[in-house]
Structure 1
Amino acid sequence: MTPTQDEDSFWKETSEDKRQVDDLCAALQRRAQCNQPMSGFQLKNAELTGIDLVNHGSHHGYVLHNADLYRANLQSAHLFALDLRGSSLMKADLRHANLHCADLRDCNLLGIRLEGARLDNIIWDQQLLQERQGRALLHDGNSAAAIQLFQEAEETYRNLRLHLEKAGLFEQAGLFFHREMVMRRLQIPRYSAKRLLSWLVDLFSGYGEKPLNVVLFSLGLIGFCGLLYFLVGVQQGDRPMGIAFEHSLMSNLMDLLGCLYFSVVTFTTLGYGDISPHGLARPIAAFEAFVGSFTMALFVVVFVKKMTR
């Protein structure tokens, strides 16, 4: 049987085995070139090796929404700017395919094969399909089903990340690594220490993918501790430094700036000695120095990781 462009029932028939169809690639290409609708096509296990679905002469690709391409063979396919939103590419074989500028939002990408594929400028979801579905189930209280979807999401993120790294697309690979680690965290029991630790690592560094988080945390801690020093008081030689309502506004402002300076010196463990803590300021300074030394080491690790990719 050779389908024609007008046979909508053939393309949307779920029971039809597309593997037995002759000239399936040519028929699908003709339909695309005639700008006929291609939404909801059932192409499970279809043999589409080398198919050309590029809308030549246009920056806008063809539309193949909500298609079922489960285990379809799309090796070496030309899919530039193809709009595949809502389609299932589960276990599809896209080795050496050209997916440049393709739209893969809302797609099921579990088990997809992408060795040697061109993956630059693909439009991805910020959260993959399984993650969104898992979060919805978790919100509804179905944690067992949600964890299963989080496992699938983690596997999908990892698979995509590895292929993107091989393609040299490290920025997108880093984003997927972060989502992969978030999915792993969501599978850990909610109130466990391990999950709390994982959340803190995400908060402070984005699992090593967000150096800016480390900088913002550092600035926040320096400012907070500086304010505490101003409230409890520190010592500059023989002169106490801190808030004093009997002093002028300018004098208090200068003391506040001095406390912020002391906070920076303490955080970075420089310890010039011109200002020293006393009383309640001592445990605050000890805590800030400990966290500061750890945070600076963390920043070096995160920064080097980002820069050496």
Structure 2
Amino acid sequence: MSKNNSLCQYTDESGCQCREPANDTGFCYWHDKTADKSGDNVKDDFETYVKSGGLLRGVILKRANLANIDLVNHRKKNGYDFTHADFYRADLQNAHMFNINLTNASLMKADLRCANLNCATLQDTNLLGARWADSKIENIKIGKRLRQEQQARQAVKARKNEEAIDLFEQAEEIYRDLRKHAEHEGIFMLAGRFIQKELTMRRMQLPKYSIKRISSKVVDLFCGYGEAPVRIVGISICMIIVCAFLYLFTGLNYQGEIHSFNPDATLAENAKLFLGCLYYSVVTFTTLGYGDFAPIGFSRAIAAMEAFTGSFTIALFVVVFVKKMTR
């Protein structure tokens, strides 16, 4: 307790200020980084503080024993706001944390086994080393990028390569832990997203212009490391249209006549010609080869490339689609 009448000095970036009495350090017990919170009564005292409406943003609960704690904002639409809170190495086993807001908080090395984190907001949260076994993570919100991934990309821009690689390694570890846990819990859509991010973080650790990194990027672009079959369809459509335009200018043989773009022809005639080229591009990409159109000159090389790429792409789509549907 405070020996004076001053209030806690904690104020966060949004202007939220703690109104609890300050102790000798100038902060209240819950915002004091020097206060020992490893005692047996911390859980009950903190539950009382939470229910009394105390400021939860920025609370420091390092190594606190909070097993079985109830942090659910019952009968309220929004969960409790623990933005910037620090739960480093805290014991949160069996904790009830449904819909909790942990934006910019730290769960580094926290024990989350059997905890209920359904619908929790974990954007910019430090999740390095957290223990997830048997925890519930349906509909969690972690944002587009983890904190370590954002920091790594900033380090890359600042040309701090060693720091960037270390942060990418941390991000890969977090994504891998989340992916394994999501798979164990049967949340395969979430696991698919995490494996894409995991492999992306692994790619970012490779030398920038290495063959491994370039080939990994190509696989990501084509199919999202096997998690995005729709991406293959989009690339296929783009390739068919591009090749159709190339055929329009390089020419095709149809029933002994050369069909190619004519600047003196009308728009309707050239549009009809393009539709013929589009048809030929489709049958070439799918390796049907009806034989009514035939490539000439440079269009032969385009047709050969399109046929090879098409057969490979269709096979890849089947593999990825079956993998997604049978997971």
Query: TM bucket by the smaller chain?
Result: over 0.9
The residue type paired with residue 144 of structure 2 is Q
Out of 248, 253, 264, the position equivalent to 1:230 is 248
Contact 2:81–2:101 (CA under 8 A) maintained in structure 1: yes
- Between the aligned partners of 2:116 and 2:150, the Cα distance in structure 1 is 27
**In 1, distance between residues paired with 2:266 and 2:153?**
55
- Tell me which residue corresponds to 1:280: 298
- Tell me the equivalent position of 2:218: 200
Name the % identity.
48
Letter in 2 for 1:10: Y
> Residue 136 of structure 1: CA displacement?
0.6
Q: TM-score, normalised by structure 1?
A: 0.94
| Secondary structure of residue in 2 paired with 1:200 | helix
Runs of 4+ in 1 over 4 A off after TM superposition: 5-8
Greater Cα shift, 139-148 or 250-259: 250-259
**Selected match of 1:168 from 180, 183, 186:** 186
Matched-pair contact (CA < 8 Å) for 2:40–2:65: no
> Take 2:227 and 2:76, find their aligned partners in 1: how far apart are those partners?
36
SS of the equivalent of 1:276 reads strand
Tell which deviates more after alignment, 137-146 or 253-262: 253-262
**TM-aligned CA deviation for residue 82 of structure 1:** 1.3
Matched, 1:152 2:170: yes
Q: Which residue of 2 aligns with 1:124?
A: 142
Q: Could you tell me how far apart the structure 2 residues matched to 1:246 and 1:40 are?
A: 72
The answer on 1:64 being equivalent to 2:82 is yes
Q: Relative to total residues, which structure has the larger helix share, 1 or 2?
A: 1
Q: 5+ residue gaps in structure 2?
A: 2-19
**What corresponds to 2:132 in structure 1?**
114
Alignment of 1:24 with 2:47, yes or no, is no
Contact 1:104 1:124 in 2 (8 A): yes
| SS of corresponding position for 1:217 | helix
Are 1:299 and 2:317 counterparts? yes
Code of the aligned partner of 1:295: T
Decide which of 75, 84, 89 is 2:107's aligned counterpart: 89
1:116 Cα deviation after fit: 0.9
Which residues of structure 1 form unaligned runs of 5+? none
Q: Partner of 1:197: helix, strand, or coil? A: helix
Aligned to 2:98: 80
Does the Cα contact within 8 Å between 2:108 and 2:126 map onto a contact in 1? Answer: yes
Provide TM-score, normalisation by structure 2: 0.89
Q: RMSD between aligned alpha carbons? A: 1.6
What do the CA deviations read for 1:115-153 (whole angstroms, capped 9, x no partner)? 111111212121000000000111111011000000000
Total equivalences in the alignment: 305
Q: Give the conservation status (yes or no) of the 8 Å contact 2:241–2:281.
A: yes
